[in-house]
Structure 1
Amino acid sequence: MTENKEKMVSVYAEANPNPESMKFVMNVQLLPDGQSVDYPDLESAADSPLAQELFNFDYVSRVFIASNFVTVTKTTNLEWVKIIPELRTFLKSYVEAGGPAFVEGFSAAPKATESDATGETSEGDAAIIKKVIDLLDNYVRPAVEQDGGNISFKSYNDGVVKVHLQGSCSGCPSATVTLKAGIENLLKRMVPEVKEVVADGVTI
């Protein structure tokens, strides 16, 4: 991670469609652009001291870290207006003090590429997968990141595209609408071979 010590860090909270999650945007880089890590619980956060510290707040149920923001999902009925100041102060102090986001040597899994996805597919399917990945990267992912989450391509089989949703998308009550009315409609319109889009990482 880039050394942030002695740097003045600004942190602001940004709401997203999931009422139980909040995006905290910073003026420092936590991960390279396009990379992100999703921690659904404390046990999964062994490689992130920052996520472990956030799980020490008893109302934090999920932590998602991307290039310059952290999305926190809460568990309780506490209102955000009461806990945003506490989380914002913690993040600012932690990063300004040079606290590491990740353990030394950590590397986030790279996003799926066309070559990864088309290794054992027919030429026709490979062309479809390329179109789908291009659409997800250029049109869908920026919007999903704006809402504090991430989307990645998982597979394509017989007209069905499987994607993985992370961060604020997990458990979001509007995720089904976003997936079906937004992402599925876009892919069907642009890639006629696509019949359906399904997701893991989110309850549909």
Structure 2
Amino acid sequence: MLDNKEKTVSVYAEANPNPESMKFVMNVGLLPDGQSVDYPNLESAADSPLAQELFNFDYVSRVFIASNFVTVTKAANIEWVKLIPELRTFLKSYVEAGGPIFVEGFQANKPATSTESNGEVSADDAAIAKKVTDLLENYVRPAVEQDGGNISFKSYKDGVVTVHLQGSCSGCPSATVTLKAGIENLLKRMVPEVQEVVADGVTV
């Protein structure tokens, strides 16, 4: 993580396909590229003082922190136009003041590898999982990150790829369409053994 003290911080809000989430992009680094952490509630945010402070806003329901942005998911009963100035001002002031993003010794989630699969896998399945992981990392994850979220490989078995969605992708109305029309089609085309792509917590 970069030393953000005594640096003028710029923060701009960027909409994404999830109407309840907003991506706040900064000109400073919060995490190394490719790493991210997702906090679905206050209780999960014990290792991030920044996330804890954001949850103090009563309308914040989820916080996702990545390389140079924070995605905030709000409650559905309030409009972004009222919230963006407040959150931008808070993030700018907090980071400029050198407020801690994470507790000392914190380790972020690293991109999943093809070996992170459920149970024993055959050599063929491991090779397919490696192809899938490479495609997700090189083609899919950068696009998902642009929308304020993250996707990681979880497992491959019997033609089914299971992924994990975080940030703005969690609870996004278009997540299923993206998963099936975009990601699944890409993987099927590039890796013929893939028959289906499913995500934890996302129903079709």
Place the TM-score, normalised by the shorter chain, in its bin.
over 0.9
Could you tell me which runs of 5 or more consecutive residues in structure 2 were left unpaired when the two chains were aligned.
none
- Amino acid corresponding to residue 101 of structure 1 in structure 2: I
Change (3 A) 1:53 1:191: same
Offset at residue 2 of structure 1 (A): 2.7
For 2:152, what is the secondary structure of its paired residue?
A: strand
User: Residue 100 of structure 1: SS of its match in structure 2?
Assistant: coil
Partner of 1:102: 102
Aligned to 1:159: 159
Aligned-partner residue type, residue 166 of structure 2? Q
Q: Percent identity?
A: 86
Structure 1 unaligned segments of length 5 or more: list them. none
Q: Residues 144-198 of structure 1: CA distance to partner in whole angstroms, max 9, x if unpaired?
A: 0000000000000000000000000000000000000000111111111111100
Change (3 A) 1:92 1:174: same
Mapped partners of 2:125, 2:186: distance in 1 = 18
Give, in angstroms, the shift of residue 103 of structure 1.
Answer: 0.4
1:123-202 correspondence runs (5 A): 123-202=123-202
Once the 2 structures are TM-superposed, how far is the Cα of residue 201 of structure 1 from its aligned partner? 4.5
> In the superposition, relative to structure 1, how do residues 37 and 202 fare at CA in structure 2: closer, same or farther (>3 Å)?
farther
Q: Give the Cα–Cα distance (whole angstroms) in 2 for the partners of residues 203 and 85 of structure 1.
A: 34
SS in 1 for 2:25: strand
Q: Residue 201 and residue 100 in structure 1: after superposition, are their counterparts in 2 closer, same or farther (change >3 A)?
A: farther
Query: What per-residue deviation string (whole Å, max 9, x for no partner) do you get for residues 86-117 of structure 1?
Result: 00000000000000110011011222123444
Q: Does 1:60 align with 2:27?
A: no
Aligned to 2:81: 81
Q: CA deviation at 1:84?
A: 0.2
Moved more, 26-35 or 103-112: 103-112
Aligned to 2:43: 43
CA offset at residue 82 of structure 1? 1.0
Whole-Å separation in 2 of the counterparts to 1:155 and 1:114: 8
Q: 2 CA distance for matches of 1:70 and 1:60? A: 12
- Judge conservation of contact 1:162–1:200 (CA < 8 Å) in 2: yes
Relative to structure 1, the CA distance from residue 167 to residue 17 in structure 2 (aligned partners, 3 Å threshold; closer, same or farther) is: same
| Preserved CA contact (<8 Å) 1:118 1:129 | no
Q: Does 2:43 align with 1:18?
A: no
Q: What is the total number of aligned residue pairs between the two structures?
A: 204
| TM-score (structure 2 length as normaliser) | 0.96
Q: Aligned partners of 2:26 and 2:202: how far apart in 1? A: 26
Q: How far 1:54 sits from its partner (Å)?
A: 0.2
| Closer, same or farther: CA 54–18 of 1 in aligned 2, 3 Å | same
Change (3 A) 1:112 1:118: same
SS in structure 2 at match of 1:185: helix
Give TM-score, length-normalised by structure 1.
0.96
